[in-house]
Chain A
Amino acid sequence: MGRLRSLLIPGVDKKLLVRDAAKAMPDLARRRFIAGGASLGALTLLTGCDVVDSDSAETLLKHISKYNDAVQAWLFDPDALAPTYPESMITKPFPFNAYYDLDDAPEVEAADWKLEVSGLVDNKKSWTLDELHALPQVKQVTRHICVEGWSAIGSWTGTPLRDFLKLIGADTRAKYVWFQCADKDGYTSPLDMRSALHPQTQMTFKFGDEILPRAYGFPMKIRVPTKLGFKNPKYVVSMEVTNDYKGGYWEDQGYNSFSGS
Chain B
Amino acid sequence: MSSLAATDDHVSPTPAQAAPGVQPKVIQPAWVRAMHWTNAVAMTLMIMSGWQIYNASPLFGFRFSHSITLGSWLGGALLWHFAAMWLLMLNGLAYLTTGLATGRFRRKLLPITPKAVASDVRAALTFRLAHDDLSTYNSVQKLLYAGIIVVGIVVVLSGLSIWKPVQLHWLVTLFGDYAIARYVHFVCMSLICLFLIVHVALSVLVPKSLRAMIIGR
Interface check B187, CB cutoff 8 A: no
Asked if B83 contacts A61 (CB within 8 A), the reply is: yes
For B179-198 the 0/1 string (1 means CB < 8 A from A) is 10010000000000000000
A57 → B minimal CB distance (Å): 9
A4 → B minimal CB distance (Å): 6
Asked if A5 contacts B178 (CB within 8 A), the reply is: no
Asked if B41 contacts A145 (CB within 8 A), the reply is: no
Given A64-B79, A149-B56, A21:B29 Cβ within 8 A = no
Asked if B53 contacts A33 (CB within 8 A), the reply is: no
Interface check B13, CB cutoff 8 A: no
For A1-28 the 0/1 string (1 means CB < 8 A from B) is 1101100110000110011011001101
Asked if A75 contacts B165 (CB within 8 A), the reply is: no
A218 → B minimal CB distance (Å): 25
A253 to B75, CA, bound (A): 7
- Chain A interface main SS type: helix
- Which residues from B are CB-within-8-Å of A60? 83
Interface check A172, CB cutoff 8 A: no
Interface size class of B (residues with CB under 8 A): 35 or more
- Which residues from A are CB-within-8-Å of B56? 147-149
- Which residues from B are CB-within-8-Å of A64? 79, 82-83, 86
Interface check B37, CB cutoff 8 A: yes
Interface size class of A (residues with CB under 8 A): 35 or more
Given A14-B23, A21-B4, A21-B215, A37:B34 Cβ within 8 A = yes
Asked if A2 contacts B79 (CB within 8 A), the reply is: no
Asked if A9 contacts B214 (CB within 8 A), the reply is: no
A145 to B45, CA, bound (A): 24
Asked if B29 contacts A4 (CB within 8 A), the reply is: yes
Asked if A22 contacts B34 (CB within 8 A), the reply is: no
A102 to B126, CA, bound (A): 61
Asked if B1 contacts A22 (CB within 8 A), the reply is: yes
A25 → B minimal CB distance (Å): 6
Asked if A42 contacts B82 (CB within 8 A), the reply is: no
Interface check A87, CB cutoff 8 A: no
A143 to B23, CA, bound (A): 62
Asked if B182 contacts A261 (CB within 8 A), the reply is: no
Instruction: Kindly identify, within residues 15 to 65 of chain A, every residue whose CB is under 8 Å from any CB belonging to chain B.
Output: 15, 18-19, 21-22, 25-26, 28-29, 32-39, 41-42, 45-46, 52-53, 60-62, 64-65
For B193-217 the 0/1 string (1 means CB < 8 A from A) is 0000000000000000000001110
Asked if A75 contacts B164 (CB within 8 A), the reply is: yes
- Which residues from A are CB-within-8-Å of B76? 61, 254
Q: Which of A1, A39, A45 contacts B29 (CB 8 A)?
A: A1
Interface check B38, CB cutoff 8 A: yes
Given A36-B33, A37-B31, A143:B75 Cβ within 8 A = no
A4 to B32, CA, bound (A): 11
Stretch at the interface among A77-85, A115-123, A179-187: A77-85
Residue of B nearest to A75 (CB): B167
A94 → B minimal CB distance (Å): 15
- Which residues from B are CB-within-8-Å of A36? 30-31, 33-35
A34 to B33, CA, bound (A): 10
Q: Which of B3, B38, B80 contacts A22 (CB 8 A)?
A: B3
A51 to B69, CA, bound (A): 15
Given A28-B215, A147-B74, A38:B166 Cβ within 8 A = no
Question: Can you list 28 A-B contacts with CB-CB less than 8 angstroms, sorted by A residue number?
Answer: A4-B102, A8-B31, A18-B23, A21-B4, A22-B2, A29-B33, A32-B33, A32-B34, A33-B34, A36-B30, A36-B31, A39-B38, A41-B87, A46-B37, A52-B70, A61-B79, A64-B83, A65-B82, A76-B167, A80-B166, A83-B169, A147-B74, A147-B78, A226-B167, A254-B78, A254-B79, A255-B75, A260-B166
**Closest 5 pairs (CB-CB, A-B):** A36-B34, A254-B75, A148-B56, A36-B30, A148-B57
What residues make up the interface of A, taking CB atoms closer than 8 Å to B?
1-2, 4-5, 8-9, 14-15, 18-19, 21-22, 25-26, 28-29, 32-39, 41-42, 45-46, 52-53, 60-62, 64-65, 68, 72, 75-77, 80-83, 143, 145-151, 225-226, 250, 253-256, 260-261
